Amino acid sequence: MSDIDDKARRRRNLAVALALGALVVLFYIMTMVRVHP
Amino acid sequence: MALATYSDTRVATVGDYFALLKPRVMSLVIFTGLAGIVAAPGHIGPVTGFVALLCIAVAAGASGALNMAYDADIDRLMSRTATRPIPMGAIAPGEALGFGWTLAVAAVALMGLFVNFVAAALLAFTVFFYVGVYTLWLKRRTPQNIVIGGLSGALPPAIGWAAVTGSLSLTPILLVAIIFLWTPPHFWALSLWRSDDYARAGVPMLPVVRGKTATRRQILAYTAVLVPLGLAPAFVGAAGPLYFVCASAIGVWFAIEAFATFRETDEVREPAARRLFRVSLVYMFALFAALIAERLLHLPVLAALV
């Protein structure tokens, strides 16, 4: 695998991690909104 | 429908996955969905409103990814779509399917859990209609593909409205009808100068199957219904003078360009159709921007002024 491919893969992994992190935060906020309207 | 053969030519980037979501289509869907949320009576919390809009956007993106997965074989034959991530060999069709279905299910589930089930059901129906009815059934079978299939692209204002109210009424149905009638002249204008592309891919768009003259007539007929209907929200107490002026002025402009397209003789460059395509985008943007602006600025509706 070339350096460019390796970088592309790392960026994809980072994007997936950020998306999952954002989902966790979103679920937390929505749960709080629902529990304490 | 067989999925296209995949040849691994490069590693997919984040940009490839973003392109899979059809961001330009998504932006229009977000905009009309936001108009539905803003125009609806009642209150929705900012977080819940954001989640509703996010779900609409993600489901639209998912539909785009699924469309690209199922249409990869024809996308590689058309110059407009040949540079999409799947024909370019960056993403495998199966991977796009997994990506698309995951996002679609997640968006509908999130809408049901955190907003309401009416909005979630409408969102699920929209994805089903775009993928199942338009992409898999109508697109390759009938020149009415974008007429009927256009319903999926027209539904976001109703989903936004349902996210706030939990129901539907005349106003969201009018907004859906406006986008529904706007879709044929918009896409047929594009297909007039892209007809070779569609013919090569075997997609039965109206200019390919019935010819350009019939397409021009149909564009004019749909425009004749669309422009007056575009004014209707102002007469049912859903919009004010700003909307009325925008819908009238750009509606007249739309009609002028539709008529120019009807009379166009340059069948190679199709300059009038290109102009009509651009005006149709301005029309859609202006109508919904006016609707949003009036609500945010608390401007009175037209019925209150007469």
| Per-residue pLDDT tens digits for B200-246 | 999 999 999 999 999 999 999 999 999 999 999 999 989 999 999 99
Residue-wise DSSP of B230-284: HHHHHHTTS--HHHHHHHHHHHHHHHHHHHHHHH---TTT-HHHHHHHHHHHHHH
Chain A residues inside the 8 Å CB shell of B47: 29-30, 33
Predicted local confidence at residue B299, as pLDDT: 83
Neighbours of B169 (CB within 10 A): 15
- Taking one residue from A and the other from B, the number of pairs with CB-CB distance under 8 angstroms is 30
pLDDT along chain B (306 residues), means of 10: 53 91 94 96 92 96 97 94 93 95 96 96 98 96 95 97 97 97 97 92 94 97 98 93 96 98 94 97 96 90 68
Cβ–Cβ under 8 Å, residues B271 and B228: no
Q: With an 8 Å Cβ cutoff, are A15 and B11 in contact?
A: no
Exposed e or buried b per residue across B216-253, where buried means at least 16 C-beta atoms within 10 angstroms of its C-beta: bebbbebbeebbebbbbbbeeebbbbbbbebbeebbeb
Nearest residue to B262 (alpha-carbon basis) of B291, B120, B165, B254: B254
Q: With an 8 Å Cβ cutoff, are B14 and A1 in contact?
A: no
CA distances from B49 to A15, B23, B24, B37, B134 (A): 24, 20, 21, 7, 29
Domain boundaries, chain B: 11-168, 169-306
Cβ–Cβ under 8 Å, residues A15 and B14: yes
Return d(Cα B306, Cα B283) in angstroms, integer: 25
Work out the minimum CA distance from A5 to partner chain B, whole angstroms: 6
Return d(Cα B59, Cα B37) in angstroms, integer: 16
Work out the minimum CA distance from B82 to partner chain A, whole angstroms: 22
Chain A residues inside the 8 Å CB shell of B12: 8, 12
**B11 → closest Cβ in A5, A15, A29:** A5
Work out the minimum CA distance from B110 to partner chain A, whole angstroms: 9
Which of the residues A30, A31, A36 would you substitute to probe the B interface, choosing the one with the greatest number of B C-beta atoms within 10 Å?
Answer: A30
Predicted local confidence at residue B304, as pLDDT: 65
Q: Which residue type, as a one-letter code, is found at position B91?
A: I
Instruction: Supply the mean pLDDT for chain B.
Output: 93
Cβ–Cβ under 8 Å, residues B263 and B257: no
Q: With an 8 Å Cβ cutoff, are B48 and A5 in contact?
A: no
DSSP B299: P
Q: Which residue has the tokens 């397409």?
A: B215
CATH 3.30.70 for domain B169-306: no
Predicted local confidence at residue B305, as pLDDT: 64
Q: With an 8 Å Cβ cutoff, are B51 and A30 in contact?
A: yes
Chain B residues inside the 8 Å CB shell of A29: 47
Chain A residues inside the 8 Å CB shell of B48: 30, 33
Q: With an 8 Å Cβ cutoff, are B17 and A12 in contact?
A: yes
Return d(Cα B196, Cα B176) in angstroms, integer: 31
B46 touches chain A (CB under 8 A): no
Class of domain B11-168: mainly alpha
Q: What is the pLDDT of residues B124-149, one digit of tens each?
A: 999 999 999 999 999 999 999 999 99
Q: Looking at chain A, which residue has its C-alpha nearest residue B48?
A: A30
DSSP B87: T
Cβ–Cβ under 8 Å, residues B139 and B125: no
Predicted local confidence at residue A36, as pLDDT: 78
DSSP B5: P
Predicted local confidence at residue B2, as pLDDT: 46
Predicted local confidence at residue B300, as pLDDT: 79
